[in-house]
Amino acid sequence: MYAEIDFTTIDTSQEPPQEEPARQYYFIAKCRQHVKHLEEKLGRRPTFFTQTFGCQMNARDSEKLTGILQAAGYEKASSEEADFVIYNTCTVRENANQRVYGRLGYLHSLKKRNPHMQIALCGCMMQEAHVVEKLQKSYFFVDLIFGTHNLYKFAELLDTTLESDRMVVDVWEKEHTIVEDLPCDRKYSFKSGVNIMFGCNNFCSYCIVPYVRGRERSRSPEAISEEIRQLVQNGVREVMLLGQNVNSYGKDLLPPVSFARLLEELQKIPNLARIRFMTSHPKDLSPELIQVMAKYPKICRHLHLPLQSGSSRILQKMNRRYDKEDYLALTEKIREAVPDISLTTDIIVGFPGETEEDFLETLDVVERVGYDTAFTFLYSRRTGTPAAAMPEQIPEDVAKDRFDRLLALVQEKGRARSGRFMGSIQEVLVEEKNAAKEGWLTGRMSQNLLVHFPGSAALIGELLPVRLTKCKGFYYIGEQVKCHYHQ
């Protein structure tokens, strides 16, 4: 177990072990020596800063990076004015890439003032050859570049970087087997993301994820269950199971295990109060999963079910493998089985060839399903994906106009829908002090809706009954219900 490792007992004068995770423990021990030397030189603890772009998977990966940096002896800084800065990048849309290039200029100016500063870049954007070429050519001040497949060997890469004055680049084209039991730092003490699988096999025609995250690999149910049991022992009440397509979890395992079965197992874990998961692909959402969601109250009443488009013609070009009718029928089945569920979605507008009629089909689905929230995106052309080569790319002004109309409808529907719990008492997991109002807290309902209510910070991490007294569109105002458990 990682928690029981004593790094001072690892003999770094020996050759590193070949097996994982022992090899990474060895390099953490070596990094600790480098960081110690740096500390003596600087006369203070060296600091680090991690910045995450993109999705929940990246956020979870950053917790792993943070865990290693802390194990190596660095202290967390609150800004990029630090001795080691790492950006965990996203490339799902072009604007994510632009933000990274923009921020690198700022990092360069900081590095000129702090000669000990080191800059590292990792994540999805680094899996693209043209990005790495550009960085090597024009961003010589970057010290370390690695990708998504070798994140598990960050300790080893950090050691190489600390010993080298040249840019270290290590990006793998293919995925590696999953390495368990590495250090990890959690942002919240009472909730945590848990990877259940990595990669994606779907190749939606607009999406770069399968190229940068590799093929689907599931963790074993035992490893997942063990991690969650440990988390619960350390005070976690809610877990979010993470995967690009959780509904195809376990198909690659021997023997195969379904996602529904995994949920059934996990909900047995004592003292675990809530289970969330993300993201579901409609084509793989099984009737068993719907039954399991309906049966077990620990499984949160929230389903994120990306629609992408309401037009069957466009869905086919997107290679989504369901049509408008399939999607509508699926949401009806879910609503029937779990009436209080909150449905959210992702929608892309301006996919190549999208006509006004196609777009109206999307509006029609939004009208009919009644999402609590929808994340709306302008189609972004990603080099190397089939859609990038499709004719009839949509002019920006047309796409932007559709985007605005979609957003207006999504907001109108969301506002109308979220009021449905007004007056009821809901169980809320208290997450943090309210940023805007002194003496108030912010918590989350099973449906993923936020509730603000008066209360003391000592309640953070607790599950409480809260009466919803006012609906403010996308969130509620409430008051704690005093019962004999919570006085």
Question: How near is the Cβ of 241 to ligand 5AD at its closest, in Å?
Answer: 17
Tokens standing for 334? 């879910």
CA distance 94 to 114: 31
For 253, other C-beta atoms within 10 Å of its C-beta total 15
Binding mask 278-317 for ligand SF4 (x = CB under 6 A): ---x------------------------------------
φ, ψ of residue 113 to 5 degrees: the values are: -90, -25
Q: Which does 200 bind (CB under 5 to 8 A by kind): ligand 5AD, ligand SF4, none?
A: ligand SF4
Query: 224: which residues sit within 8 A by CB, 6+ positions away?
Result: 194, 196, 241, 262, 266
Q: Which does 265 bind (CB under 5 to 8 A by kind): ligand SF4, ligand 5AD, none?
A: none
φ, ψ of residue 436 to 5 degrees: the values are: -95, -25
Q: Cite the DSSP H helix spans in 420-487.
A: none
8 A C-beta contact, residue 240 and residue 194: yes
CA distance 230 to 485: 26
56 vs 267, beta carbon nearer ligand 5AD: 56
Is the link from the previous residue into 255 a cis peptide, with omega within 30 of 0? yes
Residues 217-256 that bind ligand SF4 (CB under 6 A): 244-245
Binding mask 181-220 for ligand SF4 (x = CB under 6 A): -------------------x-xxx--x-xx----------
Is the link from the previous residue into 21 a cis peptide, with omega within 30 of 0? yes
∠ Cα 84 59 148 (to 5°): 75
91 vs 480, beta carbon nearer ligand SF4: 91
The residues binding ligand 5AD (CB under 6 A) are 92-93, 206-207, 306, 308, 346, 348, 377, 379-380, 382
252 vs 346, beta carbon nearer ligand 5AD: 346
Question: How near is the Cβ of 318 to ligand SF4 at its closest, in Å?
Answer: 8
Q: Which residue has the tokens 């000129």?
A: 112
Q: Which does 382 bind (CB under 5 to 8 A by kind): ligand 5AD, ligand SF4, none?
A: ligand 5AD
Q: Which does 380 bind (CB under 5 to 8 A by kind): ligand SF4, ligand 5AD, none?
A: ligand 5AD
Q: Which does 318 bind (CB under 5 to 8 A by kind): ligand 5AD, ligand SF4, none?
A: none
CA distance 140 to 134: 10
Question: How near is the Cβ of 281 to ligand SF4 at its closest, in Å?
Answer: 5
135 vs 208, beta carbon nearer ligand 5AD: 208
Question: How near is the Cβ of 82 to ligand 5AD at its closest, in Å?
Answer: 29
Torsion, Cα of 166, 167, 168, 173 (10° steps): -150
Q: Which does 146 bind (CB under 5 to 8 A by kind): ligand SF4, ligand 5AD, none?
A: none
Residues 464-483 that bind ligand SF4 (CB under 6 A): none
By CB under 6 A, is residue 386 in contact with ligand SF4? no
Of 187, 182, 189, 266, the C-alpha closest to 234 is 189
8 A C-beta contact, residue 370 and residue 409: no
Binding residues for ligand SF4, per CB under 6 A? Answer: 200, 202-204, 207, 209-210, 244-245, 281
